[in-house]
Each structure stands twice: as structure tokens, then as C-alpha cells.
Chain A
Amino acid sequence: MSKPTTNAGPFFPRDRNWHPPALSPNYKTSVLRSPQKALLSLGNTISETTGPVFGHNILGELDHDLVQNYAKPGESAQGERIIVHGHVLDEEARPVPNALVEVWQANAGGRYRHKKDGYLAPLDPNFGGCGRVITDENGYYAFRTVRPGPYPWPNGVNDWRPSHIHFSLFGSGFAQRLITQMYFEGDPHIPLCPIVRTINDPAAIEMLVAKLDMNHCVPMDARAYRFDIVLRGRRSTMFENRMEGN
């Protein structure tokens, strides 16, 4: 049985100067965890143009609501209640529907619910720090959470992460796989952070800064932040098929 072929071609090459380089010495852990030999550039084959796509049936009722999805009945997570929402687009500004968006974060005090996090800020018994959503037919997503706190981390003697939410994204092909972080407009830690500064281009960093979106606040409940995400664009297979005949 044939399936739609409108967007099954190879992806646009990644701009490796826009992404952070593998080796960024001010982020010390990257020094021993960065390949030293050149990456082998490989035009996409079907192993890269295909990828898993998830159905809404994987989602639980509260997966999009971090304020409630770990909370005891009648309670909720502590902190500033926020809604994070936006569009997942490709490089041609086309919406990416059915994109799985997974998020994780520290609690309002900057502590992660993870056995390896020993920061002295307390855990919030009502906050797990993970959620997931799938974009709708317009590439739109939204989830509710609390604003994560900044926290210190062992890199320099006094390095602090800006408030951030980790994002993992699936598009329609494995070559689009992306993990990134969302920051908050106006956070003075952003320009100080060695992880943010692994990215060289200020315009690229700006793409990761969510904007306060007063129009989408829920009055008397939660403020909203807008965060659009762009995945790699791709060519149509039809054109590719013609090229193969030449």
C-alpha cells in the first residue's frame, strides 16, 4: 500500500556553524566528549529520511500538565504557573504536525527529580518535572508547568544555569532528531552561561529564548511563554525521483 510522498525526500543539510560545535572548552565536559575527527558527510538515504512517528494514543491525560501530573489529589506543584506554547515548523515555515515534543526540567527551586542531583534546594513532592505533547495538524503544541529555578553546576566555581526547559523533538525523519533547551526572555543568566555560549551566533541563541506572551495568559491562573521550534526542512520525493532518472 502506498503512502503519501509529499514530504519524504532528503533533509536540507544541517548548518554545523549554527549549531554549537562539538568541542566548546568553556563547557568543560565537552572536551573529552567531542569527536576529534571530521564527521563523514552523508547524503540522506532511506535510513535517515524515515523515522518513528507517534500517535496521540501514547499520551496520558495529564502528560501536558506538569503542574498536576505528579501531584497528589487536590494539590499542585509549587512555583510560578506558566503555559509554554508555540509552533513546530520546518525550515520552509511549514507546520510539522504529529511531532512528539518531550520536556523535562528542574522544579521552581532549581532541583531535579533525579537520583544524581544533589543540589541542596528541596524536591517538590508534587512535581515530577516531565511532560510530553504531540503537535496538532497545524504544528501547534502547548503544555502547563511551573517556571524552573536557576541552579549552580560544577563547571566554573560559580556557574549557574539560567532557568530552562529541556526539549526533545521528533519530526518525520530520524535525521531531524533534536534535543535543545528553552530559556526565558529577560533572564540575566542567559549571556553568562557556558552551555548557552556553546552556540556562537547570537541570532541562534535568540531562537531558544521564549517570549512572555500576555495574549495567551490565563487571567488569574498562569502566564504564557511563546516558544516556536524549527526542525530541518526536506525536499519532496517526486523531484528526487526525477533526478534519479537523469
Chain B
Amino acid sequence: MTKLEYLKESPSQTAGPYVHIGCTPNFIGNTGIFKEDLGARMVNPQTKGQRITIKGRVFDGTGTPLKDAMLEIWQADSEGLFNSPSETRGEADPNFTGWGRQPVNLESGEFCFETVKPGSVPFPDGRTQAPHINFWIVARGINIGLNTRMYFPEEDEANAVDPVLGRIEHRMRVSTLIAKQSGDTYTFDIYIQGENETVFFDI
């Protein structure tokens, strides 16, 4: 009799309201332990590609912005390559980390990432995914981190054939994943509940 002896994943627990102590200590004034908060800078002057700013807030079921959330983003570089050992297609831009981490402002609830617009990346079946950025959101009251994606409004054609957006059964919900553009600044508001609940993924 063959037995499957897989381990179980460690179960998630909420990040709680004090996630900053461990993840962004300098942001709350706990300086002198880590030189800088990890993920605070994604780009440097040598980074290739179009500089963009992504702003937004995370809203609870009453429409109140969360003041204690932390977001992480993960994305390809401007050529569509990931700065990761698991990237097997080539070398990503060494001046772009692809990974960012920002707490929301403790008063306004706003987050802000300075990054570059990502290139397209392939879907496993060979189709092309529209440019997108993966988001991961944790906070007090969130028992397991929420995964979603941000897409770009000027990429109408690519978005229309994107294999992930294409999986969304209720088409009116596609718009919850598409940021609003104003020049090089994109606004991506995330709604945890309610009429405009953002599409979250089980990845």
C-alpha cells in the first residue's frame, strides 16, 4: 500500500495591526535596527522602462479605508522578465527588483509604489498575459493574505484577450482589476467587500 507522505502547509494567521514592527520598522520610527525597510525602493536611476506611480487605498465592508494594511507587489520588468531565480527565460533588469512592499499611511490609508510599467509575460499554454502587477494584502482582520492583480487601462486590446481576465465569469467585475490612469500615475483602489468587491484569486 503506497502512502502519500506530504506535509501540510503551516496555516496562516493574521499579520495583526503591528506588522510594521517586523516588516517596515523605519516607517513607524523604529530606526537603528534595519538600515532601510525592505522593498521600499524598487527602482534606481539605471532602471529601464516607463516610470509609473501606483496609488490606492484598501476599503473594508463599510467603505472605510484600512489604516493598518501592508501591501506587497510583484511584477515583471519592462521587458517582461522577473528578477527571480525561478525565472528561466533570461536575465531581468538588474536595476529593478520587481518586488515592492509598502504600508498604507496610518492616517489616510493610502499606499504608493514607485515602479516601472511591466512588459507582457506568457501564460502557461503559450498565450500572452496582458501587463499586470500581482498584489498581496495583509492587515489586522485578514486571516490569510489576499491575492489580486492590477491591470492597465490603456491596454484595452491586451486586456480583452488576457487569459486570466477571461476567466472572470461576471464580466462587470473585470473593471475591479483595472487601474485608473492620470499621466504616469495609476490609482488602484481595492474593495474587500461590497458592490465593487475586487476580484481576489486563489493562486
Contacts and interface: CB of A to CB of B under 8 A. Distances in A.
Contact of A173 (B32, B86, B138, B139): B86
B55 to A, nearest CB: 21
A1 interface: yes
Contacts of B23: 102, 104, 168
A242 interface: no
Interface in B137-158: 138-147, 149
B142 A22 contact: yes
Nearest to A164: B13
A40 B201 contact: yes
Contacts of A60: 33-35
Interface in B30-76: 30, 32-35, 38, 60-62, 66, 68, 72, 74-76
Nearest to A59: B34
Contact of B25 (A13, A15, A46, A128): A128
Given A29-B140, A30-B141, A33-B60, A114 B20 contact: yes
A179 to B, nearest CB: 5
Contacts of A207: 8, 10-11
A27 interface: yes
Nearest to B89: A46
A37 B197 contact: yes
A135 to B, nearest CB: 14
Contacts of B124: 10, 43-46, 240, 244
A96 to B, nearest CB: 12
Contacts of A180: 10-13
B28 A114 contact: yes
A198 B139 CA distance: 15
A126 interface: no
B11 A231 contact: no
Contacts of B38: 54, 58, 102
A226 to B, nearest CB: 14
A40 B13 contact: no
A151 to B, nearest CB: 11
A131 B30 CA distance: 12
B109 to A, nearest CB: 13
Contact of B28 (A35, A115, A231): A115
Contact of B88 (A8, A19, A199): A8
A181 interface: yes
A221 interface: no
A177 to B, nearest CB: 6
Interface in B80-137: 82-88, 90-91, 97-99, 106, 121-126, 129, 132, 134, 136
A34 B193 contact: yes
B30 A45 contact: no
A72 B163 CA distance: 55
A59 to B, nearest CB: 9
A179 B12 contact: yes
B91 A1 contact: yes
B84 A51 contact: yes
A215 interface: no
B43 to A, nearest CB: 14
Interface of A: 1-5, 7-8, 10-16, 18-22, 24, 27, 29-37, 39-54, 58, 60, 63, 69-70, 89-93, 102-105, 112-117, 128-132, 166, 168, 172-175, 177-181, 195-196, 198-199, 201, 203-205, 207-208, 229-233, 237, 240, 244
14 contacts: A5-B88, A8-B86, A20-B13, A32-B141, A33-B66, A36-B197, A42-B202, A45-B122, A47-B76, A47-B134, A60-B34, A114-B28, A198-B13, A204-B8
Sort A-B residue pairs by CB-CB distance and give the 10 closest, nearest first.
A104-B22, A29-B141, A33-B141, A50-B84, A52-B99, A32-B61, A39-B202, A20-B143, A50-B82, A104-B21
